[in-house]
Amino acid sequence: MKFTEFGFDDRLMEGIDASGYEDATPVQEQVIPLIMAGKDVIASAQTGTGKTAAFLLPLINKIITDPHEDHTNNALVIVPTRELAIQIAQHMEGLSYFTSVSSIAVFGGGDGNAFVQEKKALSHGADIVICTPGKMMAHIKMGYVKLAGLKYLVLDEADRMLDMGFYDDIMFIIANLPRKRQNLLFSATMPHKIREMARKILHDPTEVNISISKPPEKIIQQAFIVYDTQKIPLVKYLLRQKNFKSVLVFCSSKISVKQLTRDLKRAGLKADEIHSDLEQTKREEVLMYFKSGRLPILIATDILSRGIDIDSIDLVINYDVPHDGEDYVHRIGRTARAEADGTAYTLVSQKEQRKLAAIEKLLGHPVPKAEVPAEFGETPAYNPGSGSRQGDGKRNFKKPFRAQGRSGQQHSR
């Protein structure tokens, strides 16, 4: 379906053209007409499906064409992380470039200047506010946020927000919004708790399902069955095998990220780390270096497994086996974006074999096992059902990600 078929305002069409979009993606094709018709929508759609534009485009169009109050915040987009807030704000800037629709990104940990700018925008009224829950709640509590005329609420990556413990903050924000509004909820997965929340927030929603819980087939997936102590040497070996230009290595903990980064740097590899212990400016700098291709190896916690849009990653390494199948799909989905091909290696220690087996069940097929080079010596057999559960008895819970800084943008009418 062509974008011309949605009946968007010409100024918005200019932004769509400038962004290089021609055909709508499946989620856009289904969701945009519903939003334009004023319906509440609950959509299961993952990052990479074009879901951001699926809600931004009709919201921008409505704000341009529907009568609305000028001095109020018109739409609130609540997202789990500052990285996603920044990314949506950038999308917004591109798509709305030829319109007079204003936006601001609001998220935690910024300096005094950022706070003053946010306060000014929120008390004057921005058309579209993209925010993380905690920071928005803090502003609302101060009493100056203009919400009486708010017409649209978007909850993006709702499952992730609940995993991160934002339920109460979200409900606090919603309690301060007008009852009559249009609600849109996007979530990669639809567990019971999301449906429960949707029941409280949405009015007679239309459900759209674009979930792809299978990774693209073009990703070459391989698992290396090893002992824990073989992991770091194997990563070094794999990184030297080919001239990979852009490699994202995922670790399940900050400690592993730091240790692996240190070891790779010592081995002379151009690597850097990103995790929630770093200052906001440092994180933005590292991400920028990686996105621009100047930093070839980035080692990250799961914070980068969703929502971050980098097209040219040619290798993803799961240094630890992800907690569940959805995380695996999200992590390896960072490679082979758009037209590119990609490779995903997963390093599996003995105690992680069961986790890999669970992922294989979700995928519906085994992840091919790669031969570990002979120089690494003896390796364990893959035998996840054998009862070898050393250290595997406790469940790993996702830790909430703490916001630490800000950057944002506002362009005024």
Residue numbers at the binding site for ligand AMP (CB under 6 A): 21, 24-25, 28, 47-53, 309
Beta bridge partners of 103: 128
Q: Which is nearer to ligand AMP, 24 or 121 (CB)?
A: 24
> Rounded to the nearest whole angstrom, what is the least distance from the CB of residue 120 to ligand AMP in the complex?
29
Q: Strand 219-225: give its sheet, edge to edge.
A: 219-225, 342-348, 315-318, 247-250, 297-300, 271-274
Q: Which is nearer to ligand AMP, 48 or 149 (CB)?
A: 48
Q: Strand 206-209: give its sheet, edge to edge.
A: 103-106, 128-131, 75-78, 152-155, 182-187, 41-44, 206-209
Q: Which is nearer to ligand AMP, 45 or 260 (CB)?
A: 45
> Rounded to the nearest whole angstrom, what is the least distance from the CB of residue 54 to ligand AMP in the complex?
7
* Cα–Cα separations (whole angstroms), residue 166 to 186, 276, 311, 394: 15, 17, 29, 24
> Rounded to the nearest whole angstrom, what is the least distance from the CB of residue 144 to ligand AMP in the complex?
31
Q: Which is nearer to ligand AMP, 52 or 346 (CB)?
A: 52
Q: Which is nearer to ligand AMP, 43 or 298 (CB)?
A: 43
> Rounded to the nearest whole angstrom, what is the least distance from the CB of residue 314 to ligand AMP in the complex?
17
Report the C-alpha gap between 145 and 149 in whole angstroms: 11
Reading the block at residue 140, the tokens are 């609302």
Q: Which is nearer to ligand AMP, 148 or 288 (CB)?
A: 288
> Rounded to the nearest whole angstrom, what is the least distance from the CB of residue 339 to ligand AMP in the complex?
11
Q: Is residue 93 classed exposed, middle or buried when 0-12, 13-18 and 19+ CB atoms within 10 A define those classes? A: middle
> Rounded to the nearest whole angstrom, what is the least distance from the CB of residue 92 to ligand AMP in the complex?
11
> Rounded to the nearest whole angstrom, what is the least distance from the CB of residue 3 to ligand AMP in the complex?
7
Q: Which is nearer to ligand AMP, 70 or 311 (CB)?
A: 311
Q: How, if at all, do strands 128-131 and 152-155 pair?
A: unpaired
Q: Is residue 217 classed exposed, middle or buried when 0-12, 13-18 and 19+ CB atoms within 10 A define those classes? A: exposed
